[in-house]
């Protein structure tokens, strides 16, 4: 089966992201993840990485942006209720990690 892909722009650089569906019981999550891989630099010249996590059905999930005292976004948090959600979130994070690790080439991880 051919994986669905999409191209997202990050600071003018195209990044190919692949889709992975995680279904567990009645809960379902979809993740898109991709990277340009290592490009040898910082935020201006370095690689670009994209992840997207979506409720694909029946998942009781709350996502919040974490902000510092100045109101700047510094991260995010995910909260979920239910046994299926525990497994779905664990599986989707593992899938996301594997998808990103696959964009790196041997020797560049060091």
Nearest one of 86, 84, 22, 77 to 54, comparing CA atoms: 22
| Alpha-carbon 50 to chain mean position | 6
pLDDT in tens, 25-44: 778 899 999 999 998 888 88
- Residue 85: which H helix or E strand, with range? helix 83-101
Residue closest to 16 by CA, chosen among 102, 92, 91: 102
> Which DSSP letter does residue 60 get?
-
Low-confidence ranges of the chain (pLDDT < 70): 1-2, 105-110
Q: What is the CA radius of gyration of the chain?
A: 16
- Other residues' Cβ atoms within 10 Å of the Cβ of residue 15: 21
Which pLDDT score is estimated for 105? Answer: 66
Per-residue pLDDT at 1: 52
Burial of 99 (0-12, 13-18, 19+ CB in 10 A): buried
């Amino acid at each position: 089966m051919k994986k669905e892909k999409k191209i997202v722009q990050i600071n003018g650089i195209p990044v190919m992201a692949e889709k992975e569906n995680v279904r567990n019981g009645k809960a379902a999550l979809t993740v898109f993840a991709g990277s340009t891989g290592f490009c040898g630099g910082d935020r201006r010249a370095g690689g670009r990485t994209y992840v997207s996590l979506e409720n694909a059905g029946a998942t009781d999930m709350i996502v919040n942006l974490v902000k510092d005292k100045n109101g700047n976004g510094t991260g995010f948090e995910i909260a979920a209720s239910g046994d299926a959600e525990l497994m779905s979130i664990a599986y989707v994070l593992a899938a996301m990690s594997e998808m990103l690790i696959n964009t790196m080439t041997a020797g560049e991880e060091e």
